[in-house]
Chain A
Amino acid sequence: MREISYRDALKEALKEEMERDERVFLLGEDIADPFGSAYKVTLGLSPIFGTDRVIQTPISEQGFTGAAVGAAITGLRPVVEYMYIDFTTMAMDQIANQAAKFHYMSGGQAQVPMVMRTQGGPGRSSAAQHAQSLEAWFHHLPGLLVAMPATPHDAKGLLKTAIRLDDPVMFVEQKLLYNTTGPVPEEEYTIPFGLADVKREGTDCTVVATSMAVLKALKAADLLAAEGISIEVVDPRTLFPLDMETIVESVKKTSRLVVSHEAPERGGFAAEVVAQVSDRAFDYLDAPIQRVCAPSVPPPFARNMEDYVMIDEHKIADRVRKLVQGEI
C-alpha cells in the first residue's frame, strides 16, 4: 500500500469530502494559499475550491466558531481550524454552550454538523500557551464527539466520518504527527467513531494510548519484546464515543492495564478509562491500573524541562515492566 503523511492524509480527507458534498467548507485563520495554514494541512485547497469555500477569517476564534455554528444549524457543514488547541479557549462559549448544546436545548430540532480541527501536544519548546493537550475538556462536554487519530490511516478515515456526522466533533491532531507517514489506501474508506484499534497484539499487559502516546507505546512494545514482555496496544481513536468493549476484552486477556496520554494526569482522559475498567473488569485485574501521563504542570519552555514532563517509550516500558514483574 502507498505511504503518505498524516498531513496529506488529512488534506485528502478534506479534499474528498469537499468534492463529495458542496455543503462542506473550511473556515479558519491563514488557511488559504500561499500560507496554507500553520501546519500546512489546507495548503493547496484554496486554489481548487476557491476562497469562497476555503474561507480565511480574521484572528477571531469566537467569531468564526459562532459562524460555523450558525452555518451548521442552517444546513451547511463547516470544518473550522484552530491553529492551536490552546486557542479554543477564545471560543469556549461557542464550543461549550452553543455547538455542544444546540441539539439538546432545541429538543432535537437543531443539528450541528461541524468539525473543529485543531492540534495540540508538546515537543517543540512551544511553552505554556502553544503545547497543551486539552482534549479532556472537550471529552467532558456532553454533546461533543472527540477524535484523536494517531496514524495517517486513522486521520483520514476518521476525518471523513467526522465531516459526515451530524454532531459537532472536536478533531484533535498532534503537531509532531504531521510529518509521520504510514499506509493509506488509495480507495475510499471511512472509520466509524467508537471503534478502537488494536495497534499491536500482546499477552502480558494492555496499554491504552491516544494520539502520540500510541507511537510511544508501540516503541515501548519493541523495547519490552526484547525482554520477553508482550504488550497489547489499544488505540481508542475516538475518546467519545469510547469503545470500552475492545479495552475490556484486552484487559481480560492480559490482566494488566496502563493508560497513557500526553496530557497532564490529573482529570485526564486516562482517568475515565481507569474508572470504566475498574467497573467492568475489576475481577480480571492482577495488578493496580497505572497511568503514564505528563505530571500536572503547564508545558515548560526549556527543552530539558519539556523532555522531563513528556511521556516517552521508556516511561511506558518502565511502568509495564514493574507491573509485569509484580513490583507494583
Chain B
Amino acid sequence: MNDRKIPEDLTKDQLLAMYRRMRLIRGFEDTAQRLFENGEIGGFLHLSQGQEAVPVGTCTALRPDDYITSTHRGHGDVLAKGCEPKYMFAELYGRTTGYCKGKGGSMHIADFSQGIIGANGIVSGGLPIITGVGLSIKMRGTDQVAVCFFGDGATAEGGFHEALNLASLWQIPVIFVCQNNLYGLSQPFSETAYDCDLAQRARTYHIPGECVDGMDAIAVYRSVKEAVDRARSGGGPTFIEAKTYRFLGHYVGDPALYMPPEERKAWREKDAIAKLGTQLRAWDYLTEEEDEAMAASVQAELEQGVEYARSSPIPAPEEALDDVYVHFDYAGNPR
C-alpha cells in the first residue's frame, strides 16, 4: 500500500468529506442497530457496516442530479448520495417526517429530489429500473448518469441479465455497481455460480467490466469516475464489481453461523474507514485532534437525528389510506 503518495485526482476537502461520510454511515448503522435491539424501531434492518467505501467512493464521482437505485441494504447508498440521517431515522421510527412518511421503512427509503430512486425490498428490483432511468436520460438528452447498486445475490436473478442486455443494446449511461460482499443472505457467492468472475460476465454483453477493491474508497472512486466520464460522453454502460464484506449478519438478529470467524476477522482488518483515516494522517490532511473532532461531530449529527425522529409526529393511523393513487382516494373516489 502506497500510503505516502497523495492523490492528485481528489482534493483534500473531497477526501475529508469521503472520510466523514463513511463514518457517518458506520455511525448510522451502529445507531440503528442499537435502536432495533432496544426495540425502539421495528421491521427489517439490513445493515452495511464494512461496505461504506463502495457507496461513498461511487457517489463522490456523481453529481447531485445523477441517479441511484439501491437495495434492501440501502442505508449507506442513500446516505452517500445525500440523504440526511434525521429524515432516515424518522422513517425508521415510522414518523410523518421520514422520507416516506413512515410508509416505507428501512427497505424503501427514497429521496427523488436527489435522484435517489430508492432502496428496494426485492433482490434485483433496481436492475431493470435503472435501464429505464438510463433510457430516459438518453431520450431527454441530458448528461446525467445512473448508478445501480446491487448485491452479488442479485446476479442470479433474471432481471440482472435482462438489464445488462438492454443497457448494452441501448448504450445508455448506466453504471452497474455490484457490491459483492461474498454472501447473499446465508449463501456464499461462490456457491451460487460456476464462474464468479462478474466483470467477465458483463463483458459477454459487451459492457466494459472491472473488479475493484471495495475496501478502498479511493480505488472505487477512480473506477467509477472513469465509468461516469465515459457514460456522460455517450460511451454507454459500465459494470463494476466491488469486492467488499458485510461485517455483521444479513439482518439484525441473524447470528450468521455460516460466516467463518477467521474470515470475519480478516475482513475487519481491512476496514476501509481505518484505512482512509491512516492515509489522511499520513498525508497530513488530518491531525489527531481533527480526527476526534470529526468523530464528535458525526456522533452529534446522529444523536440529533435520533432526537429529531423521536420528537417527530407519529402519523395518524388513517394516513395508511393515503398515497395509494394520485387521482383517487384508496376507495376509488376522485379527489
Report A's interface with B, CB cutoff 8 A. Answer: 29-30, 34-35, 56, 58-63, 86-87, 89-90, 124-130, 295-298, 300-309
Cβ of B105 within 8 Å of any chain A Cβ, yes or no, is: yes
Chain B interface, DSSP helix/strand/loop, else mixed: loop
Chain B residues with CB under 8 A of A308: 317-318, 320
When chains A and B are docked, how far (Å) is the Cα of A34 from the Cα of B183?
14
Q: If the complex has contacts A295-B330, A309-B320, are A34 and B186 also in contact, measured as CB distance less than 8 A?
A: yes
Interface residues of B (CB under 8 A from A): 42-44, 91, 94-95, 100, 102-105, 107-108, 120-124, 153-154, 156-159, 184-187, 191-193, 257-258, 314-315, 317-321, 324, 330-331
Q: Which residues of B contact A305 (CB under 8 A)?
A: 94, 102-103, 315, 317, 319-320
Q: Which of A60, A61, A127, A295 contacts B108 (CB 8 A)?
A: A127
User: Out of A58, A87, A297, which one reaches B324, CB within 8 Å?
Assistant: A297
Extra 4 A-B pairs, beta carbons < 8 Å, given A35-B186, A125-B42:
A127-B43, A127-B103, A127-B108, A301-B102
User: Nearest-CB distance from A107 to chain B (Å)?
Assistant: 30
- Inter-chain CA distance A295–B325, complex, in Å, is 14
Q: Which residues of A contact B123 (CB under 8 A)?
A: 59
A29 to B124 CA separation, bound complex (whole angstroms): 15
Nearest chain B CB to A119 CB, angstrom units: 15
Q: A127 — which chain B residues lie within 8 A by C-beta? A: 43-44, 103-105, 107-108, 121
Q: For residue A309, which residues in chain B have a CB less than 8 angstroms away from its CB? A: 320-321
Total A-B residue pairs with C-beta atoms closer than 8 Å? 127
- Least CB distance, A264 to chain B, in whole angstroms: 9
Contact indicator A90/B43 (Cβ below 8 Å): no
Q: Which residues of B contact A296 (CB under 8 A)?
A: 324, 330-331
Q: List 18 A-B contacts (CB under 8 A).
A: A34-B186, A35-B185, A58-B184, A59-B156, A60-B156, A60-B158, A61-B157, A62-B157, A124-B42, A126-B44, A127-B103, A127-B104, A130-B107, A296-B331, A302-B315, A305-B102, A305-B103, A306-B320
Neighbour of A297 across the interface among B91, B100, B102, B321, CB < 8 A: B321
Please give me the residue from chain B that is nearest to A32 by CB atom: B186
Q: Is the CB of B314 within 8 A of A304?
A: yes
Q: Do the beta carbons of A34 and B258 come within 8 Å of each other?
A: yes
Residues on A with C-beta less than 8 A from B94 are: 125, 301-305
Assess whether A30 is in contact with B317, with CB atoms less than 8 Å apart. no
Given the known inter-chain contacts A129-B107, A298-B324, A305-B94, please indicate yes or no for A58 contacting B42, CB distance below 8 A: no
Measured between beta carbons, the chain A residues less than 8 angstroms from B120 are 129
One of B42, B104, B159 near A303 (C-beta < 8 A) = B42
CB distance from B233 to the nearest CB of A (A): 35
| A124 contact set on B, CB distance < 8 A | 42-43
Q: B103 — which chain A residues lie within 8 A by C-beta?
A: 127-128, 300-302, 305
Instruction: Give complex CA distance A124, B123 in Å.
Output: 20
CB-based nearest B residue for A128: B108
Contact A29 B317 (CB under 8 A): no
Pairwise interchain contact B317-A307, C-beta atoms closer than 8 A: yes
Q: B185 to nearest A CB, angstroms?
A: 5
**How long is the Cα–Cα vector from A61 to B107 in the complex, in angstroms?**
20
- Determine the distance from Cα of A60 to Cα of B124 in the docked complex, in whole angstroms: 10
Contact check, B122 vs A87: say whether CB atoms are below 8 A apart: yes
Q: Which 9 A-B pairs have the closest CB atoms?
A: A302-B94, A58-B156, A308-B317, A301-B105, A129-B121, A35-B186, A125-B43, A302-B102, A305-B320
Minimum CB–CB distance for A181 against chain B, Å: 22
A224 CA / B158 CA spacing, docked (Å): 51
| Most chain A CB neighbours (cut-off 10 Å) among B105, B318, B331 | B105
Alpha-carbon distance A257/B35, docked complex (angstroms): 45
Give the Cβ gap from B313 to chain A, nearest Cβ, in Å.
11
Distance in Å: Cβ of A203 to nearest Cβ of chain B: 34
Residue of A at shortest CB range from B257? Answer: A34
Q: What is the minimal beta-carbon distance from A145 to any residue of chain B, in angstroms?
A: 26
User: A90–B122 contact, CB under 8 A?
Assistant: yes
